[in-house]
Structure 1
Amino acid sequence: MKSLKITVVMVTYNRSKVVSEAIDCLQKQTYPLESIIIIDNCSTDDTLDVLSKRKSADPRIQFRMRSENGGYAAGLETGIIWGLSDFETDYFWMMDDDSYPIPDALELLVKGISSYEYDMLGLSGFKMTTTTKVTIEPQEEVQTVDYILIDNALVRKGVAEKVGAPNPDFFMMCEDYEYCLRIKKAGFKIGVMKNNHVNRLHLGSQKFSKATLWRGYYHSRNHMIILRQYFSWNMMIHYVLMQMKYLFGSFSAPDRFTRIKFRLIGIYHGLIGKKGKTLRPDTLKFQ
């Protein structure tokens, strides 16, 4: 098997120490990386200074700073478009800055995506039913799934050329699901393989935190946008049951009424087609 050229596209925001440790993990990969593209979502800490020092020590590292924090999908879109135009690559390895792949993570992904001829391969995958989503317990052999988490997923360059990058209209949440729907609609194969190769910190996802409050709004809104775009009755039933589950679950939170309100506003904003960054995560104010 010929050596494939892999370009990392990583998105970061105000996590200078975290992104530096993530770069350490990339530099330890047993499979060689062609390029490391890092998109900074307009950080206000010392992230750019850290990236400048890392770039001077490793010519594979390139970075750009966005003019505003447009979210994870916007950062990936910026990096993939840049990668398609200016970098020679076969695959993009997409990731957030708080996932630390162990040294053989990329080597195993490349082996899996090459051996089983998939177009996008991730480490966490799901099957969708009418009533719920089912987490697929990954095996050594690649399995076909309905969608994957795109954090640490490997996607073929040809897929990005045909269907584009994750959609920045979502700002945060659900960009994985919509991207997989778009890729499958174009006739490409999505798979998942054994997922014990990455240490995910899951920063910002603690239960009943400020982060999960605004994430709840975007989750409700973006899933509604997806439902409108890819409508089926099964998806409709799934959406209603899922939102009822989260709404009732909010009653156990200390800020229950705020959480319920944000989810209901999210449903409404999805119905009327509001997209982009409509709720500021730092102030929790609508714009």
Structure 2
Amino acid sequence: MNLIPKDVGAVIVTYKRPEALKKTIFAILSQDIPESQIVIVNNDPSIQLIPEHIDISFTRLVIKNQLENIASAGGFAKGMKAIVDMGLKWAWLFNDDSRPVEGSFFSIKTALENTNYEKIGLIKIGNLNQTGKAILLNWNGVRVPSYVDPSEELIKTDLVTFDGCLISCLLIEDIGTCDPGYFMGTYEFDYCLKAAKKGYKIFTLPNGQIEDEKMGSVGGTPPWRQYYNTRNHLWMGISRRDFRILRSWLLRELKFTYAILMWEDQKILRLRYKFLAMYHAAIGRRGKVLMPKNN
């Protein structure tokens, strides 16, 4: 399978990180992706971003300014649709604080040329953990990580996250974009399960050729994010009527609730948000409910 830059559009979802965004744009350009095929979804409604705000040399970036923060699920959905509308073949997804390193695109291209698989839906550049192992994700009602030595061979997995993920536009046209109703968290796994159900293959390329600053993961999981983790996982089980997901959700929530009672700060707030999340999943309340300012 041949992969060339002119067939690929990049999506960057950004929120109030101009310097990180600039680094990511230059990193994507260094992979020979044309500037006119870079879509930036700006989730900061306080500024109507234009190319000159980022760098005076940018003139052809495609910027989608949002009237409200639609978070990662909504941002990637907007970006995926934009790439399909451009008539391209692949969408390469990034947050503003993650970016490809030198050789990333070439490594994906080479891996694709060396595989005989058809109907490939998603290919993720695998992140490395602190011990230098590549992270793979499989599914048993909840994500199950495993770890392998870095390599340049595609490994079939059940799940991938979207950061550094290449998604076939044929897949997007077939099943649509990711579901913006998740707002943040779980939407990637929901999308992978939908893709697999349609017969698309999902791969991880475990070479670690992605730089991830993880700027949104500093300081642990805040209460508002726990709300979405709880609600969205439960919603997946309820909407699919999948007992395996519901069982895994229950076991996971018991474990995390115990951790809240024993070690976490803001215990009352965290527990209140968890009960709210369960109620909202049960009644089908989706989309944006809590934001960081609600803490």
Alignment TM-score > 0.5, same fold = yes
Q: Deviations 1:113-141 (Å, cap 9, x if unpaired)? A: 44333321012431123686123436431
Task: Describe the shift of the 1:43–1:197 C-alpha distance in structure 2 as closer, same or farther (beyond 3 A).
Answer: farther
Distance in 2, Cα, partners of 1:156 & 1:100: 19
List alignment gaps of at least 5 residues for structure 1: none
Partner of 1:248: 258
The alignment-based identity, stated in percent, is 22
Partner of 1:119: 121
Letter of the structure 2 residue corresponding to residue 229 of structure 1: S
1:131–1:241 contact (8 Å) kept in structure 2: no
List alignment gaps of at least 5 residues for structure 2: 127-135
Partner of 1:225: 235
Partner of 2:161: 149
Q: Which moved more, 1:258-267 or 1:88-97?
A: 258-267
1:229 Cα shift? 2.2
2:234–2:246 contact (8 Å) kept in structure 1: no
Q: Does 1:129 align with 2:130?
A: no
2:99–2:164 contact (8 Å) kept in structure 1: no
Task: Describe the shift of the 1:260–1:113 C-alpha distance in structure 2 as closer, same or farther (beyond 3 A).
Answer: farther
Partner of 2:17: 15
1:56 Cα shift? 5.8
Partner of 1:163: 175
Partner of 1:206: 218
When the two structures are superposed, what TM-score results if normalisation uses the length of structure 2? Answer: 0.86
Partner of 2:132: none
Partner of 2:49: 48
Letter of the structure 2 residue corresponding to residue 224 of structure 1: L
1:154 Cα shift? 0.2
Q: Does 1:237 align with 2:238?
A: no
Letter of the structure 2 residue corresponding to residue 188 of structure 1: Y
When the two structures are superposed, what TM-score results if normalisation uses the length of structure 1? Answer: 0.88
Task: Describe the shift of the 1:274–1:88 C-alpha distance in structure 2 as closer, same or farther (beyond 3 A).
Answer: same
Q: Give secondary structure in 1 for the equivalent of 2:123.
A: strand
Task: Describe the shift of the 1:132–1:100 C-alpha distance in structure 2 as closer, same or farther (beyond 3 A).
Answer: closer
2:224–2:294 contact (8 Å) kept in structure 1: no
Cα-Cα RMSD: 2.2
Distance in 2, Cα, partners of 1:106 & 1:132: 27
Task: Describe the shift of the 1:154–1:213 C-alpha distance in structure 2 as closer, same or farther (beyond 3 A).
Answer: same
Task: Describe the shift of the 1:204–1:190 C-alpha distance in structure 2 as closer, same or farther (beyond 3 A).
Answer: same
1:248 Cα shift? 1.3
Distance in 2, Cα, partners of 1:111 & 1:94: 19
Task: Describe the shift of the 1:234–1:136 C-alpha distance in structure 2 as closer, same or farther (beyond 3 A).
Answer: farther
